[in-house]
Structures are given as C-alpha cells and as structure tokens.
Amino acid sequence: MRAQAKKYRTEERKSRFASQAGTIALLAALVLLISWMGTIPVLFWLPEVLDSASLNWLKDLAGPVVYAQGLLLVESEEPVQLPRPGIWPPRPPIPRPIPPVPPPRPVPPPATYKVDEIRVQAVVRHQTAQVEVSQTFLNTGSRQMEVVFVFPLPYDGAVDRMTFLVDGKEVPARLLPAEEARRFYEQIVRRSLDPALLEWIGTGLFRTSVFPVPPGAKRTVSLRYNQFLRMQNGLVDFLFPLSTAKYTSEPLRELAIRVSIESEEEIKNVYSPTHTVQIDRPDPRRAIVRYEARGTVPTTDFRLYYDVGRDLVSGRLLSYRPRSDEDGYFMILASPSIRARETQAVGKTVIFVVDRSGSMSGKKIEQAREAAKQVLSALRPGDLFNIIAYDSSVELFRPELQRFDDTTRAQALGYIDGIYAGGSTNINDALLKALEQIQDPSRPSYIIFLTDGLPTAGVTGEMQIAQNVKNANRHRTRIFVFGVGYDVNARLLDRLASDNFGTSAYVRPEENIEAAVGQLCQRLTAPVVTDVQVRFVYPEARPEDPPVFYQVYPKGPMDLFAGDQLVVVGRYRRTAAGSVILSGRVGEEPYEFSFPAELVSSSPDTTLSFVEKLWAMRRVGDILEELDLRGRNEELIKELVQIATRHGILTPYTSFLADEGARPELMADHLRRARERLEAQKVAEGKAAVVQRAMASGLRQAAQAPSAEFFGGLAQSLRDMAPALAAPGVSQKALEREEEQLQRNIRQIADRTFFRRGDRWVQSDLTEEQEKRAIRVRMFTNEFFALVNRYGRRLTQYLQTTEPMLVELDGKVYLFEL
C-alpha cells in the first residue's frame, strides 16, 4: 500500500508539474505577445492551476490585473523576463520546449481604387430619359479586388430595363426594391462603420454580381437604363446620382455629362440648380445641355429642369418654405419663345464705347477691336448702332446713329480696324455723348462701356461723373460696364452700372476681353419683352395688403431676350394659391403674361433648398453693393453676418465665422469684426478694389446655389484682398489661417450649413446651450438605425462623416458620434 501511495503521489506531482509548466509556457508566449502589441488590454482564460507565487509574479509583471473565475486581464507596457516557475518539491524541471510565439497574422493591404472618368449620355423624350453611364476605374492597390457595382436609383420604382457591362461584356445584375435595398445598405453601413451609403436609404438599388479586378488593372463599366422623369410645378425633373463618385480616393480626371432634350412642343425653360451648364438650342424643339469638369471630386447630384409650351413666354414658379414660422423663398423661371427671335424681337439701339487711352496699347487694344466686332455680330437688320472711341477726346464712328445693314457693317469693321491707343481717359464726356444720341424711348437701348483706366481728363471726380451720367439717362438706357485690368476705379464702375439699370463685370489681366463682351452680346441679340416686372396676385388680396413678394432679385425692371432665360428669386410673406404676373412692353405696346402658382405653407423635404441658397447669395451681393455705394448701415451689416451664419454665404468680410471659436451667441464681436473688414470698401482702385467688386457682382448675378467652387473662389478673393482687409487685430497670418479654415471648417449640406467647432461639426444656428442639451446617439447602433428609419433622408443627408455631428430635427438636437 505504501508503495502504491508513494507511486500515486509521484504521478500527481508529475502531473501538477506538467500542467503548471505548460501553463507557464503558454503564459510566456502570451506575455511576449502582449509586450509586442504594446499597451493593449487582452483578455485570457487561465486554468485554476497556478500557485500563489506564479500568480503574484504575473500581477507584478502585468501591472493592472483583473482576476476572476479564471479570467485574467493583462496590460503590459514594457518587455518582460519570465522567472523560473515555482514547483514543489524543488527539483530541476523536466526539459520541455516552450512553443515559439507565432508571428502576427499579416494584415492584407487595404483595397484602394480611383475613378478615372465618368461619362453620362441621356436622351429625354416624352418625359422619359434613356441614360447610359460609362465609368472607368483603376485598382490602385496591390491585390485583386472583388467588386460589386452599386447604383442608387434616382427615384424608387421609376427605372427599368437596366443593362450592366464590364469592358463591353454583360454582367448579371438585378434591381432591388426599396425595402430590400434598405437592408443591403444597412448591412454595409454596419459592417464598414461608414455612413457613405446612408443618404440613399429609402431608394431602390441596382446591384451586380461580383467580378474581379486585378491589381493595376483598369475596368470600364457601362450602365444603361430607362427612367421616367417626375414633373414638379410644370417642370420636368432629371436627376442623376453623381455624388456617389465623391468616395473615390482621387479626383476624377474627367467628368462629362450630355443631356439631349427632344419634344413635340417648343422647349422653353432649361435650368440646372446644381451645375453651371452650357445650353445649345439647335431648334425650338431641341436643347442640348452639357457639363464638363476635370480634376474634380463631385459632391452634388446633377439636376436639370425643363418645360415646354406654346405661349410667347413660359413661366414657372418654385416655392420653398423650410420653417413655417418664417417667410418663404421663391424662384421664377421665365423664357420667351425661340421663334420670337424671328417674329417678335423688337428693334434695339446699341452703342459700344471703347477706351483707346495709352494704357490700352498692345494686346488689350487688339482684344478691344475684336470685342467691337462681337457687338456688331449681335445686331440685326434694322437695329440702330454707333461706336465711340475715347481717350482725352471723344470720337464717333458716325455723328448720328446708323441703321444696321451690310453696308454699315462693312464701314464699321473698317473703323474698328483703325482704332489705336494713345492719350488720357475722359470717361465723363464719352458716356454723355453716347446718351445724347439716344432719343427714341420706344426702343430698348444699351450702352456697352469698356475701360481699363481711371478718369484722367475732363471731369475726374467719381461722384460727379456718376451724377452727370444718371441725369443724362432720360430713356432708361441700360449701361453694361466692363473694367479691364486692375487700374480702374471699381467703385465708380459699379455705381455707373447700378444707377443705370445695368451690370458690371471685370476682366482680369490674364482674361480675354473679347470673350467677356461676346458673352453679353449673345444675350442682347433679340429683346422680346422689356421693362419686365413681377408680382403675385391671389383672390383674397385686399388693396391695403403689402406686396406678397419682397427682396426680389434682379432688382428693378428686367429685359427678356429670345433664347435667354430669366431667373428671379425672392421672398414671400404669405401662403396662397394664385397667379404670377409678368408685365412689360413688346415694342411700344404693353404686355402682360400670367401663370398659376402656389406659395406653399411648408416644404416636405429639401429638394428645393437651392431656392433659399440662391436668394441668400443674391441678397449678400445686394447688401455689399448698398454698403459700398450708400455708406455704412448697421442693420445691413447685422443682416450680412446673420446670412453668413445661417446660410453659409461667407465673404472676405465675414470669413472669420469659419474659425472654430466663432459661435452664434458672439454676435457683438462678429459685428465689430465685420465693420473693421468692410473698411476695405474704401479702397476704390487696384487689385483689392477690383476683386471685391467682382465678387459682389458675381453674387448678385449668381444662377446656381453655392458649391465647392464657391468656397475655392472665396479663398482666392480673401488672398487677393488681404492688403485692403488689414485692420487692427487682423494680421496677414490670421488671414492665411482663415483661408485654410474656409476649405476645412465649413460644409453646405442641403438646406443647412455646418461649421467645425473643436472635434465636431455643428449646425450653424445652434447655440452653446443647445449643444449642452443634445441627445447623444452612438452611430451604427440599433438606436441610431431607429432614427435613420424614422427620419429617412431628412437625417441621412447630413450624416456624411463619422466625425461627431450636431443636428437639429423637430426641435430636438442630436449629437451623433462613434
């Protein structure tokens, strides 16, 4: 029995030793792994076989240790040396190899790609678009990609007959209805922890099967589909989800969109609120719309509206009211018949007044001659015209207005070729002589005035010249002003345009005079309705009621030209169903055109948010002109800051709002800083003077809502205006910092503006107190997706980043964070 007991104890010791030795060996490997990983908490399961000495050693080694029911949490900061295990009884351990620490599992390199080019071709007939999208992308990673092509449908249930090809070969694919697409989107978002696809939840989806793309390989994928287009307020709406390309790792080398519209009726209004497009009208029933860009990252979907009609003028109204407790915003699109170019266009008078002073010598006078020829190309038989060249003296092509025909055209071309530069600049006498020639109030009359210098001969005072010209303009002649280069009195040129129903434009030294003047002349070819004004009438209106429309832009009476389009924006005081009336003159006869319209009480979504943004841009341009030409006005300065804060329409006078420390409740400080910067408007000459007037003019004439290009241009304006903006507390270094912040700290998303404040994006009109009361929501949790399903695109359109974001919805403020 004793022998058996002794043998049993010996076997037990061997077993205990083997167990402890194995455990210690495993611990050795794990601790080495921990030391290699750094300070990363790791959870291990340990058998209950360690003696107290080994456990204490582990505690001393590991620092913070949690030990409970066999689980040990070890955090190691330094490489460690393993002690010999404590074994009873003391005796040399049986040699047992410690298993080597396995090398870390290699992490595959991330899959990266870039979209090289996107081409969109669409043909629209009878409210149906046949679309073909061609996209070339490159696998820039070092391993093969397994690709699934996903294309969000522009409208749920409005797309069919989809075909997908890879390098010309058809690949299996299918349409997913909205609910199935929702589950697919949510699955990807949960797995990748990336909100990129959130904005498309709620729409249908086109999804392909998997196809391989080897490293370094390029693939061209093509998608063909038919799409039934929605109609809104009489306008056909074409939408292409272009913003999905913003997830490429590099800018697109080339982006090209071509939409051909064909109709049995005449096409009237054609307008893109999202992109600056080129519109060609080969004939009344056809329009070709083009957009091209290089080296760009699209951030906005492409949207295009058009309508058809048989009347002389077609008009449509879009109304948008995001907040029921505030006045709404409207846009009017009005376009006359292209046939009116031949049948309804009225005779006009055009006088080209060109600077031939010494500073115009060389390339500038050559371009000015070509610009004069562009003016002739805008004339039609029967139009009246003249050419005035001025330096210190004023010279006329003919003493009186000439009727345009082949003979006078040839004579005018000969005169233009003989214009040479030399002498001073007599702006006052040149404009007075031009206005003196205009005697017939029944004909629309236009003066195209071009100068590259300051008034140095005759009357030279800015205010006196402006007053003389205004007094001499007895027949509402429109004066279009072109300032060439930086050596002009930009404030004088703005004043001449503003006082005389025209516009001002500035041609920088590196730009072409001929191109700038030619663009205007193309518009002026055939006036159809002149002195146009707009108003809204409704059945319940009383005589004492104020006008429904206010802050309407462009200001004052406007002219409608054949082939051109009028884009009017403004605000409305009350909601109603009624009619918009456009009134003006066709020749000497009064003309009135009306169309039904509704001013909505609330807007269900942000589709028309561009109406609000476009109004804000033009309003800011108008405020800047008022402050420049009429002097300081505290109410206007306050409104300038408020619009910049709420709508994100920043200018060099308010760009400090992009600073991370700027907050809505610091209004007094914002007003002080804006006042200081507006002192730059006192600079009337030189580069800074021209840049700030050109910027304000561009805002007043804006046709699209602000985009990434807008903020790029703003940064350039800030850079060019820096010397004039210098004020107490405004250093060059501070302005350079603001320039960087403009690109980094501001986002325009749908109807809202977000500023970066510290580590988060904050809706621009939220106060610090609202931030403190915000409801915290962890992204990609069940609570998060419950809100996504509840609010849909009202919420998801804002969640374009995993950075913390503060958003207000239905009176509640949410902080979304990881």
Tens digits of residue pLDDT in 7-42: 545 555 555 545 555 555 555 554 444 444 443 333
Contact 379, 408 (CB under 8 A): no
Q: What is the mean pLDDT of residues 241-266?
A: 81
Tens digits of residue pLDDT in 683-713: 788 888 888 888 888 888 888 777 656 655 6
d(CA 117, CA 124): 23
Tens digits of residue pLDDT in 501-552: 888 888 888 788 888 888 888 888 888 888 889 989 988 888 888 899 999 9
Q: List the one residue out of 621, 637, 583 whose CA is nearest residue 703.
A: 621
Lowest mean pLDDT among 124-128, 210-214, 526-530: 210-214
pLDDT at 188 over 80: no
d(CA 363, CA 371): 12
Dihedral sign for Cα 546, 547, 551, 556, please.
negative
CATH architecture of 349-523: 3-Layer(aba) Sandwich (3.40)
DSSP β-ladder status, 286-293 and 254-262: antiparallel
Q: Where in the chain is the domain with CATH 3.40.50.410?
A: 349-523
Which helix H or strand E contains 815, and what residues bound it? Answer: strand 812-817
What confidence score (pLDDT) does residue 108 get?
58
d(CA 645, CA 664): 7
> ω into residue 108 within 30 of 0, thus cis?
no
Residue that wins the pLDDT comparison between 471 and 658: 471
Q: Is 769 left (phi over 0), alpha (psi -120 to 50) or beta?
A: alpha
DSSP β-ladder status, 267-271 and 128-139: unpaired
Q: What is the mean pLDDT of residues 215-235?
A: 86
Half-sphere exposure of 126 (CA within 13 A, CB side): 1
Q: List the one residue out of 350, 349, 429, 362 whose CA is nearest residue 389.
A: 429
What confidence score (pLDDT) does residue 20 get?
52
DSSP three-state, residue 516: helix
Contact 554, 614 (CB under 8 A): no
pLDDT class for 77, splitting at 50, 70, 90? Answer: very low
d(CA 689, CA 717): 11
Quick one: 526 exposed, middle or buried, by C-beta within 10 A (0-12, 13-18, 19+)? buried
Contact 211, 139 (CB under 8 A): no
pLDDT class for 51, splitting at 50, 70, 90? Answer: very low
Q: What's the CA angle centered on 305, arms 301 and 308, to 5 degrees?
A: 160
pLDDT class for 84, splitting at 50, 70, 90? Answer: very low
Strands (E), 725-811: 746-749, 752-757, 760-763, 775-778, 805-809
Residue that wins the pLDDT comparison between 740 and 639: 639
What confidence score (pLDDT) does residue 688 get?
82
Average per-residue pLDDT for the chain: 79
Residue that wins the pLDDT comparison between 651 and 26: 651
pLDDT class for 53, splitting at 50, 70, 90? Answer: very low
d(CA 565, CA 561): 7
Q: What is the mean pLDDT of residues 408-419?
A: 90
DSSP three-state, residue 434: helix
Tens digits of residue pLDDT in 787-815: 988 888 888 888 877 889 899 988 899 99
Beta bridge partners of 469: none
Main-chain phi, psi angles of 567, to 5 degrees: -115, 105
pLDDT class for 288, splitting at 50, 70, 90? Answer: very high
d(CA 580, CA 345): 23
Contact 600, 319 (CB under 8 A): yes
Concatenating the DSSP letter of every residue in 641-706 gives HHHHHHH----TTTGGGGSTT--GGGHHHHHHHHHHHHGGGG--BSHHHHHHHHHHHHHHT--S--
Q: Specify which of 45-59, 304-318, 399-413, 554-568 reaches the highest per-range mean pLDDT.
A: 399-413
pLDDT at 446 over 60: yes
Residue that wins the pLDDT comparison between 262 and 513: 262
Beta bridge partners of 51: none
Q: What is the mean pLDDT of residues 758-781?
A: 87
pLDDT at 261 over 90: yes
Residue that wins the pLDDT comparison between 87 and 159: 159
pLDDT class for 89, splitting at 50, 70, 90? Answer: very low
Q: How far lies 50's CA from each of 56, 70, 469, 562, in Å?
A: 10, 10, 101, 94
Beta bridge partners of 568: 332
d(CA 699, CA 713): 11
CATH architecture of 113-172+209-308: Sandwich (2.60)
Contact 391, 344 (CB under 8 A): no
Greatest extent of the chain over all pairs of C-alpha atoms, in Å:
143
Main-chain phi, psi angles of 166, to 5 degrees: -115, 115
Which residues neighbour 704 within 8 Å (Cβ) at sequence distance 6 or greater? Answer: 272, 273, 274, 275, 276, 610, 614
Tokens of 232: 């809104």
Q: What is the mean pLDDT of residues 381-410?
A: 91
pLDDT at 240 over 70: yes
d(CA 33, CA 63): 16
d(CA 192, CA 189): 5
Q: Where in the chain is the domain with CATH 2.60.40.3680?
A: 113-172+209-308
pLDDT at 744 over 50: yes
Q: List the one residue out of 328, 355, 525, 546 whose CA is nearest residue 444.
A: 525
Tokens of 379: 């004339």
